[in-house]
Structure 1
């Protein structure tokens, strides 16, 4: 098929590569404009733009697709279908209807649960047992389109990064499967019940909230990795990249310590939560590498009685 690909982050790259490997004609790749990033604030193209250019695919990076000229440019490719994976821009009706078969989206949830920008993180934070990937026929509503194919996967103890990688590969496989015989996968309307929304992650959410249960705090750790949930101590932010839940207070803890969410109750960094206790196992200080709790504490002690 003649395909226009639309995606931006690393999540979308395996989908693009799978379409190329399957022999489709990628006539153009759309991605969000290059942005400044890193310590030097160099202008860096998105992962999709970088891969598309390496593959010799023409790249478009419009700031918006709302103006008539941008829509005409898109329609001029004469695509059979547009494949969308975490593109990040709203597609107007004129764009959705331009390809002969419309626009197909790789969505990282079991719709209608977790419509929106951050379905993978929200599923982890909510404690969902499973999630999945769907191939959705796009329409003007927010992830309200009919679903052609989906597959489930257990969340277990996976981080957002691990689950994103898994679901990216799964979405790539499902998209190739649908495009091989699209008539074999009729679009089915989503159920009306069970709709939830997955708003974009706000940076303020990544601060660990020790007033929650230890299980909820551990889900924060996994749901925000990457870039990493964090706590603050001695005026410094410390990222927590992995942690374990301890339902009972440590034997070594001082029984005289007051009950206080976020209180460190042992010298090996066991932390009191709203219910239960949590112990970070992988941490990172600013400008340092990832280290175990023991390695961090040898050079940066956080003694019992410290309030995080």
Structure 2
């Protein structure tokens, strides 16, 4: 495998990124690797909108709905989804979601030359991959690169991993479900509360092992993060219930530090705010320049070339 240099556009942040990059390299050298946590940003090239964009489009197409959900768009998308489901009806809302994230022609025409960032992913890990995406982008990409997942699990099937965490290797764990199975989705406030517990209950849930075991997604996240750090790619990492769980795990010293590949804010004030927002969750950023998303593929190719020779 050819040695790949550090992306030129990221050189200006190389010293700032050093600690997080070394953490990833150390994990690869130890064979333990890291757990990829893939967000909606990596599905966007296939025509799938970000979750907030989709919800806004649905709300704006119905008179009066946008005014009801607009106050929650930046603070709580599960509340937006709940209002839309309540107003449109369960069947109509589910149909809209499934139509948005179903397989499409772009997905079926995947090639590594057109989507280089995705093509690198199968070479980076020897453990599980986590996503909150409902689409089938990762399934198609890993299969096209001759590294199909041994299993794709969500909902009740994820309980098998809770019972035996050593089974997680080679699996795709879809935290919030799959577009084909609406009954397992975790999108609305009611669904989040059923799987994560209510926000005001989370501190007590995370404080006790016995209590934690009663809540599927916090328990699963605690198990997955116990042995390996998470590496977030294509994630906005704005406040949500998943990050709240990571916050509690970090404060309880129950998880490794994590790493995220993120756009660097353009102003010093925004950068300081972003750092302070990530720190309680135990997340170290690796910055790339604003709007230069080609750096994602470049950095992942660089990281792959850093794997020990016997692992390539």
Scaled by the length of structure 1, what TM-score is found?
0.33
Scaled by the length of structure 2, what TM-score is found?
0.33
Give the structure with the larger helix fraction: 2
Larger Rg: 1
